[in-house]
Structure 1
Amino acid sequence: MEKRSEAAAFLGGRLRLRQMPRGHRAGTDAVLLAAATPAQTRGLILDIGAGTGAVGLAAALRAPAATLGLVEIDPESCALARENIATNALAARIRVHEADLLSIAARRAGGLENESAEVLLTNPPYLTPGRARVSPDPRRALAHVSADGLEPWLRACLALLRPGGLFVMIHRADALADCLASVGTRLGALALLPVLPREGEAATRILLRGLKGSKAPLSLLPPLVLHEADGAFTPRAEALNRGKGELF
């Protein structure tokens, strides 16, 4: 087994996370996705494509009355997620579901029930083979690349979300058309939040929030700017990095 890194501080030290020294590592995307968690959530929150648990654990801090499920296919990432849950004393509220999201049988075998989640957070694989350079690192490739495309991933996610439940996804800004096409009419009350590296620059990420089954129209929100001209985080981005403030 690959040597694991030491646990490092996340959210300004509010969480301790152990991650693989190579492969996909949680960062700003995880912070932003977790920051979309409503604090008043009392039901089940699912973190889909959870990796070592950064989004789900951060969401647990934001919604102290909720229970969490971390859904991940990679066994070593699941093992680290379980360690991270124990390290942060969250075992009473968080469960790891080691399962292939795209397999109905695997979801059932992993303890996942359709229409069980009140909130669903996902950071899906961003890339498709043939349309991007695939990393030679197998774990990074597994996290970043989907041979099936985005629509099957979102269909499986939304099967797990209850009617009226909240869905939040982060993705590349240049994949917006694919995101909206894949969502189709399954979600309404969509809110689209562009994420800019600096003021005046093009967005590199988008966050898409919606309610399952709603017919309400889409709204385009003012962008979130991550960095000042000198590279420092903006005050809003710095607050989010410390697990404070609201994203939506």
Structure 2
Amino acid sequence: MTPEADASTEPQIAESALLGGRVRLLQPTHGYRAGMDAALVAAVAAARPGDRVFEAGCGAGAVLMQVAARRPGTHLVGLERDAAAAELARRNAGLNGVEDRTLIVTGDVADGLGPLASPRFDWAVSNPPFFDDAAALRAPAPGKRGAWIADDGLKAWTDLLLAAAKDGGRIVLIHRADRLADLLALLGEKAGSFAILPIQPFADAPAKRVLVQAVRSGRAPLRLLPPLVLHDRSGAKHTPQAEAVLRGDAALEI
């Protein structure tokens, strides 16, 4: 590729700083860009050194790179169907110095784990698309469609996470609060010991998101945790708790 070609394509990708600058992330300037949801999933994944962490639909690697920064010594595997996003994830692993413990595989959630099936993982996480039906949205931009629309339905994502996690392994995902019953039913086929963290935009507003953690083959009672409130009415961008999570100064131990 010529220098001129490099110059013409480079403005399409920009570098963002996450976790207070501890993570550098290349991502598209237009289309889907990682944000709060990725940060929350990474904050929950309390992996220990030597643990294997799998992400379904890893995109440019925002969750995995934040897990890598928060949890040194973990081994990271991402599955992403968009080849350009998967390549960005590989570049981000190099940019953050964790390419030696990161594997990004180009593949579709609907096709299953393939060669990744063994050994299974200590953690299986995802920020899956929030909608199953394109008609439910007003014509998402092409660059955002893959992040918003689950072509194969939510079940394909939960099935993959269940297949990826070992017995006793933890499954973590974030989704719309109104899909909580579906998540519990789908994951409950092979997992239990649920912990549910409601995510509220304001303390006086209903939760719009839920973070769900399950344990494959777990049998402990379900726990409904106090909510994480993202904003207050003071005019600050985030509540102190949410800001601490975004900066990497706090985790979400659920």
**Fold shared per TM-score above 0.5:** yes
**Aligned: 1:87 with 2:90:** no
Indicate the residue corresponding to 2:239 in structure 1. Answer: 234
Q: Is this contact kept in 1: 2:41–2:174, CA < 8 A?
A: yes
Range 139-148 or range 90-99, more displaced: 139-148
Equivalent position of 2:249 in the other structure: 244
Conservation of the 8 A alpha-carbon contact between 2:171 and 2:213 = yes
Contact 2:193 2:218 in 1 (8 A): yes
- Where in structure 2 are there 5+ consecutive unaligned residues? 1-8
Given that 2:77 and 2:104 are in contact with CA atoms closer than 8 Å, whether structure 1 keeps it comes out as: yes
1:114·1:162 contact (CA, 8 Å) conserved in 2?
no
Identify which range, 6-15 or 26-35, moves more after superposition. Answer: 6-15
Q: Any idea what SS the aligned residue of 2:170 has?
A: strand
CA distance in 2, matches of 1:134, 1:125: 15
Return the match for 1:77 from 61, 77, 85. Answer: 85
1:40 to 28, 36, 48: 48
**Alignment TM-score, normalising by the size of structure 2:** 0.91
- Cα distance, 1:231 vs. partner? 3.8
Q: How does 1:23-172 map to 2 (within 5 A)?
A: 23-104=31-112, 107-108=113-114, 111-114=115-118, 116-129=120-133, 132-133=136-137, 135-172=139-176
Deviation at 1:160, TM superposition (A): 1.2
Return the offset for 1:229: 0.8
Q: TM-score, normalised by structure 1?
A: 0.93
Amino acid at match of 2:232: E
Tell me the CA shift for residue 40 of structure 1.
Answer: 2.2
Percent identity (aligned): 39
Contact 1:97 1:112 in 2 (8 A): no
- Equivalent in 26, 30, 52 of residue 18 of structure 1: 26
What root-mean-square deviation, in Å, do the aligned CA atoms of Structure 1 and Structure 2 show? Answer: 1.7
Report the number of matched residues.
244
Q: Distance in 1 between matches of 2:17 and 2:31?
A: 18
